[in-house]
Structure 1
């Protein structure tokens, strides 16, 4: 009987080990299956402000909607824009803002603005972080964005700061990050 008890323990261990191996393989397959979605999201995001300039009608609508009702007594309100990596023309209500300008490794994307005014702007979207050169898949992190510090930069009104607050998982472990974007 002693031999039989040892054989039974060995089979329990074998079953447990097989279960662990199968679980790891299934979870790894799911994660790798989603890698293509994450990679295409980063690749599809335009990297420059030039890609966002294809909305002139919308820009005109924004400028007109932010003017005061009484045109005789008030001048039009100049809304600040966002300069991609501190260069180029400021873009109103950008849907994409490059956060890591050195390598475009982090990009705020799919931004939908709930409020966009001269005093600041609030919106939500995702931060796409590239995986780097080691073959790590890019990841996306849901976040909210707050633009602030409108100033005259190179003769154009532009926001100078961006706060990012992550909703859940974060790329760096911090729940908020602050960027200088002028």
Structure 2
């Protein structure tokens, strides 16, 4: 009789271990899937500010910059690459891994010496509570310079209006 009880207990433990293992695999898969979804937010965004501006205008081709406007107002080069785009809808802040992106930018003023607007800083990766979150912010472009023969802003100041991803209420990014 004791042999049957021991054998039954061993089967129950085996079944329980299998169920726990399956539960861990399922929960791990859900967690990894969500991590991939958070990381792909930035991947789905157009890679250049020019593409973003073209999409906003309803065109699929490159943005055509007016000669008079390009001569007086600098643009923004996404991660220092490509032609400067005036009044971009998004700016990549962490060019190494695209972990932070300023998006949904509405420009209140856009002049030759600087620009000011509001937007949201999206954090798509990383550990902790900030991954996959958005932080409202005021944005200020400054430091216009001639870069590769074209006028471009070289710095972006981000002032968070609420919670911050890094604990700092203001950050300055080099964008040239």
TM-score range, shorter chain: 0.5 to 0.7
- For the pair 1:52 / 2:52, whether they are aligned, the reply is yes
Q: Label 1:79 to 1:126 Cα distance change in 2 as closer, same or farther (>3 A).
A: same
> Which sections of structure 1, spanning at least 5 residues, go unmatched?
1-34, 67-75
Superposed CA offset, 1:70-127 (max 9, x none)? xxxxxx8521000000111100100110000000000000000000010100000100
Match of 1:69 in 2: none
TM-superposed deviation, 1:47: 3.4
- Asked if the contact 1:109–1:126 (Cα under 8 Å) also holds between the matched residues in 2, the reply is yes
- Under a length normalisation based on structure 2, what TM-score does the superposition of the two structures give? 0.66
Q: 1:138 aligns with which of 110, 132, 137?
A: 132
In 2, Cα distance between the equivalents of 1:42 and 1:102? 13
- For the pair 1:90 / 2:84, whether they are aligned, the reply is yes
TM-superposed deviation, 1:153: 0.3
Q: 1:81 aligns with which of 75, 78, 81?
A: 75
CA root-mean-square deviation: 3.0
TM-superposed deviation, 1:151: 0.5
In 2, Cα distance between the equivalents of 1:169 and 1:134? 14
TM-superposed deviation, 1:45: 3.4
Equivalent residues, number: 135
- Asked if the contact 1:52–1:91 (Cα under 8 Å) also holds between the matched residues in 2, the reply is no
In 1, Cα distance between the equivalents of 2:43 and 2:130? 14
In 1, Cα distance between the equivalents of 2:170 and 2:96? 20
> Which sections of structure 2, spanning at least 5 residues, go unmatched?
1-33, 58-62
**Within-5 A mapping of 1:101-112:** 101-112=95-106
Q: 1:166 aligns with which of 160, 164, 167?
A: 160
- Asked if the contact 2:145–2:152 (Cα under 8 Å) also holds between the matched residues in 1, the reply is yes
